[in-house]
Structure 1
Amino acid sequence: MSCNKLLDAGSPANQVITPQVYTSDSLARAALIGVYYKMMYSFGPFNGQISRYCGLAADELNRTTSLETDQPFLTNTLTPDNKTIWFIWTNTYSYIYQCNDIIEGLTGANTITPTLRNQLLGEAYFLRALSYFYLVNLFGDVPLALGTDYTKNTSIPRTAATTVYDRMVEDLVSAKNLLTDKLPDLPADRVRANRLAAQALLARIYLFRGQWANAAAEATAVIESRVFQLETDLAQTFRYNSREAILQFMTIMEAYNTAEGGMFVPLNPNGRPAFILSDTLMKKIEPGDARRLWIRTVTVGGNQYNSPYKYKLNTSVPREEYNIVLRLAELYCIRAEALTMLDQLTDALSDLNKIRKRAGLPDLTTITTQSQALAAIEQERRVEFFAEWGHRWFDLKRLPAHTATHPGEKRIDEVMSYCRPLTWTPAAALWPVPRDEIIRNPALTQNDGYN
């Protein structure tokens, strides 16, 4: 398949890239592709881990058997010594380091073909912003490393999340200006970022920041590009040639499709899944919702199990499924929420009803208030994006409580104190900064609630 061209330029080893790389088109291209390669080479933050651990931490995933590494997420009892947390932190910063190296190397690089330089630089800005988005939403304030000087990077204190968000916006605006709508090198496969991917992520970030007009504008630009379409056949949504996919990451290992498929789909088609969807989520799915196609139901030993089935393949050659990072349905949801906050309910409901129509559900016709619309949007996001890139976990942390008794109370405390009354504390909304990182960098401080 043409996706194999992703590695044509070579896959650099995990080492410091020398300045000579940025004197050659082929080597500069290989350096950028090396970031994608590192992200997808094995199970990692952007290859299954965020979907898995955020799903367990939220109210959407459970396990059928106990596993020591998953249990702290399932009970929201993480500690700073947790090795999975450390792995996510260090690997995401390694992606950022590679992006920083590319940005430094390509800035002012006069020997690289200008159009290629712009493309690679734009992709590096995009991938750096994507990395910081997940770090901030998992850990809160994080060090903002923008260079490759090791001595400086290991002594940076935590930077306010608002400042990190400022940098994400700056990076994505740069990416938007440098990239084009053309899909880089691989016209059939959306496995590298282009301008529309930058705008899609920018729309999400504006939404998270409460910048409603900007969020609506960026979402509209992606929607009205007409490059992407909602798949009317829900079975097609998560395939490699999905018309809904804005950006996909391609697994490097030849025998595998996606980490999610490997985790959620048993090799035995009649086998009991390791991960199942929570009862609270299942009860929220309306009768007749065609998205049940994204749920695998099997009876084993007289017990019924419902597990994620968006990706339907555990293994196959050639690949038929890629890891979808951004898709069009999210842009409709983003615009619906932004328009709701701008008191444009009619247009907001029009967007939301497009998602419902695709799911075979009737239009929402009785909503007349902003609070009703926001509740409906939360419902659609919950069902549309379950077990997918931590959407539910992040939504719970940013949305206001439905029955708030204190100013600023968030939905996450309302939901998780009900789901896990014995273990939930408000501090668990942020994961702990890894203790090893604090030892390595004394300028770091710990999140509240962790020793």
Structure 2
Amino acid sequence: MPLFRLFNKWFVLIVLVTAPTLIAGCNKLLDAGSPSNKVVTPQVYANDSMAQAALIGIYYKMMETFGPFNGYMSRYPGLSSDDLNRTSVLLEDTPFLSNSLPSDNSTTLYIWTNFYLYVYQCNDLILGLTDNHAVTPALRDQLTGEAYFLRAFTYFYLVNLYGDVPLVLTTDYTKNYNRPRSEVRDVYDQMIADLNKAQDLLTNTYASTPDFPSARVRVNRLAVKALQARIHLYREEWEDAINASTEVIQSGIYQLETDLQQTFRYNSREAILQFMPVTPGYNTAEGGYFVPVVPTGRPAFVLSDSLLKYIEVGDLRQAWIRTVTVSTKLYRSPYKYKQNTATTPREEYNMVLRLAEQYCIRAEARARLDQLPEAVNDLNTIRKRAGLQNLTTISTQTQVLAAVEQERRMEFFAEWGHRWFDLKRWPARASDGKKRIDEVMSALRPATWKSTAALWPIPNDERIRNRALTQNPGYE
């Protein structure tokens, strides 16, 4: 669906007001009251129940099928990087594995258009609740804060996949259909502005119901701080990254799971934010992608040899790796999520933000500021959970940053595109002015790697409909 078609009022309203009805059969936490008739925008925000249903509709849309925020960010950036490989040829995945995406690739178009659908829904809710006195003030603040977060979260992935992107903050079609790309810096500025508003509107308490008293599937203030910490890290705002991550770490609400089998379960104490599954037949998309239906079957996706060779002996995170031998050949695949199909009740939720990342963020930011002992302490916290010995022999910034890369790679493989994004933002280890991604990918795929592949193409269909959109270098 091209971007300009997303600004169709009736289509979005149908999604917003009917989604909770569909969710109701899955669980009560995401059933906020479900008006059944199509209504115009002012009616969507006419009372507490309908306004909350509109917000729930955004979560539902993100999780209703395998898509950009339900599996795609683990699959496609993982294939683009040195995280994942395939055991058999699938034409859909081949361009990602060779870093040779055409500008008319249907997957990147699907991701782009769905991201802008989420943005539109957030914009509609923010505008619909602004100065709205029909909704209880406390609920209005909560819903608006969640929408600000979800908009910033979506733009984070847009800029890290595509670079400069249109910055759409309204539902006015006449202003949006021909909007040019905004610079990444400006989009990040908007993310920070959105998150600052969100943290002022939200509390540390999670929205829940008696049926799901401990669920962390709605954004709270600390989820906002966690995303702020990540964005400050990506922008090289080291002190701000340290401050935001420290607030999350010291909140006392979250704990690293000492049993790594528990980390990605629905009740993980490490979870800062999870998305609740609603796709029929599945717990998570990652489980559907990475775990064969037959326990002895060959997995479709495996971890790359370049990742496996860096696993330290005794690393307990190997619990997140499935090993199977099929026809005398050994396969090692992602196994953070164990369930290929749905369970009743669902045992695994989509892990979006977790505490381990906050330690890694703080460690890296501290290392960049030459706070090396403090950075090593954070890394050792992660290593202790993984059953590994403390780092005691590293003493230079270069060594500590190499350790940061090692821990991030082992902790976040096949998870939300972390490796792909890390490689793009880190400088090369050699002092040749390149990025780390060029060092790694040119060695991994010397026949096909080009620096321009670090950004995906702006979809051709969008450029045909919006002549103001320019293409990324390296694509026609």
Q: TM-score, normalised by structure 1?
A: 0.97
- Structure 1 runs, 4 residues or longer, greater than 2 Å off: 9-17
**How far did 1:12 drift?**
7.9
List runs of 5+ in structure 1 lacking aligned partners: none
1:398 aligns with 2:415: no
Q: Which residue number in structure 2 is paired with residue 69 of structure 1? A: 92
Asked if the contact 1:80/1:434 (under 8 Å) is kept, the reply is yes
Q: Quick one: distance in 1 between partners of 2:60 and 2:125?
A: 15
**How far did 1:159 drift?**
0.1
Asked if the contact 2:34/2:50 (under 8 Å) is kept, the reply is no
Q: Aligned to 2:269, which of 239, 243, 247? A: 243
Q: Which residue number in structure 2 is paired with residue 204 of structure 1? A: 230
Q: Which residue number in structure 1 is paired with residue 19 of structure 2? A: none
Q: Aligned to 2:319, which of 293, 306, 310? A: 293
Q: Which residue number in structure 2 is paired with residue 273 of structure 1? A: 299
Q: Quick one: distance in 1 between partners of 2:32 and 2:346?
A: 20
Tell me the number of residue pairs that the alignment of Structure 1 and Structure 2 aligns: 449
Q: Which residue number in structure 2 is paired with residue 444 of structure 1? A: 469
Secondary structure of the structure 2 residue equivalent to 1:5: coil
Q: Aligned to 1:225, which of 248, 251, 256? A: 251
**How far did 1:177 drift?**
0.7
Pick which of 417-426 and 311-320 moved more: 311-320
Q: Which residue number in structure 2 is paired with residue 112 of structure 1? A: 135
CA gap of 1:262–1:179, structure 2 versus 1, over 3 A, is same
Q: Aligned to 1:319, which of 343, 346, 358? A: 346
Q: Quick one: distance in 1 between partners of 2:174 and 2:37?
A: 19
**How far did 1:6 drift?**
3.1
**Residues 3-58 of structure 1: CA distance to partner in whole angstroms, max 9, x if unpaired?**
81233225689999611111210000000000000000001100001110000000
Q: Quick one: distance in 1 between partners of 2:298 and 2:292?
A: 7
Q: CA RMSD in A?
A: 1.6
Pick which of 285-294 and 15-24 moved more: 15-24
Q: Which residue number in structure 2 is paired with residue 367 of structure 1? A: 394
Q: What one-letter code is carried by the residue in structure 2 that aligns with 1:383?
A: M
Q: What one-letter code is carried by the residue in structure 1 that aligns with 2:247?
A: A
Q: What one-letter code is carried by the residue in structure 2 that aligns with 1:21?
A: V
List runs of 5+ in structure 2 lacking aligned partners: 1-23
Q: Aligned to 1:334, which of 342, 349, 361? A: 361
1:426 aligns with 2:424: no
Q: Which residue number in structure 2 is paired with residue 307 of structure 1? A: 333
Secondary structure of the structure 2 residue equivalent to 1:69: coil
CA gap of 1:12–1:233, structure 2 versus 1, over 3 A, is farther
Q: Which residue number in structure 2 is paired with residue 190 of structure 1? A: 216
**How far did 1:74 drift?**
0.5
Q: Which residue number in structure 2 is paired with residue 56 of structure 1? A: 79
Secondary structure of the structure 2 residue equivalent to 1:6: coil
Q: Quick one: distance in 2 between partners of 1:420 and 1:11?
A: 50
Q: What one-letter code is carried by the residue in structure 2 that aligns with 1:280?
A: S
Q: Quick one: distance in 1 between partners of 2:29 and 2:228?
A: 25
**How far did 1:304 drift?**
0.1
Asked if the contact 2:208/2:214 (under 8 Å) is kept, the reply is no
**Residues 208-260 of structure 1: CA distance to partner in whole angstroms, max 9, x if unpaired?**
00000000000000000010000000000000000000000011124310000
**How far did 1:2 drift?**
12
1:90 aligns with 2:117: no
Q: Which residue number in structure 2 is paired with residue 32 of structure 1? A: 55
Q: Quick one: distance in 1 between partners of 2:215 and 2:177?
A: 38
**Residues 253-308 of structure 1: CA distance to partner in whole angstroms, max 9, x if unpaired?**
24310000000000100000000000000001000000000000000000000000
Asked if the contact 2:34/2:49 (under 8 Å) is kept, the reply is no
Asked if the contact 2:241/2:361 (under 8 Å) is kept, the reply is yes
**Residues 160-208 of structure 1: CA distance to partner in whole angstroms, max 9, x if unpaired?**
0000000000001111110000001343100010000000000000000
Asked if the contact 2:274/2:352 (under 8 Å) is kept, the reply is yes
1:346 aligns with 2:369: no
Secondary structure of the structure 2 residue equivalent to 1:7: coil
Q: Which residue number in structure 2 is paired with residue 162 of structure 1? A: 185
1:22 aligns with 2:45: yes
**How far did 1:317 drift?**
2.2
Secondary structure of the structure 2 residue equivalent to 1:59: coil
Q: Quick one: distance in 2 between partners of 1:437 and 1:372?
A: 44
CA gap of 1:303–1:90, structure 2 versus 1, over 3 A, is same
Secondary structure of the structure 2 residue equivalent to 1:364: coil
Q: Quick one: distance in 1 between partners of 2:36 and 2:239?
A: 43
**Residues 354-409 of structure 1: CA distance to partner in whole angstroms, max 9, x if unpaired?**
00000000000111111111110001000100000000000000011011313xx1
Q: Quick one: distance in 1 between partners of 2:40 and 2:429?
A: 50
**Residues 324-346 of structure 1: CA distance to partner in whole angstroms, max 9, x if unpaired?**
00000000000001111111111
CA gap of 1:102–1:372, structure 2 versus 1, over 3 A, is same
Q: What one-letter code is carried by the residue in structure 1 that aligns with 2:32?
A: A
Asked if the contact 2:35/2:50 (under 8 Å) is kept, the reply is no
1:356 aligns with 2:383: yes
**How far did 1:111 drift?**
1.4
Asked if the contact 1:254/1:319 (under 8 Å) is kept, the reply is no
Q: Quick one: distance in 2 between partners of 1:13 and 1:322?
A: 27
1:146 aligns with 2:169: yes
Q: Aligned to 1:381, which of 408, 426, 432? A: 408
1:46 aligns with 2:69: yes
Q: TM-score, normalised by structure 2?
A: 0.92
Pick which of 341-350 and 52-61 moved more: 341-350
Q: Quick one: distance in 1 between partners of 2:38 and 2:305?
A: 45
**Residues 403-438 of structure 1: CA distance to partner in whole angstroms, max 9, x if unpaired?**
1313xx110000000000000000000000000000
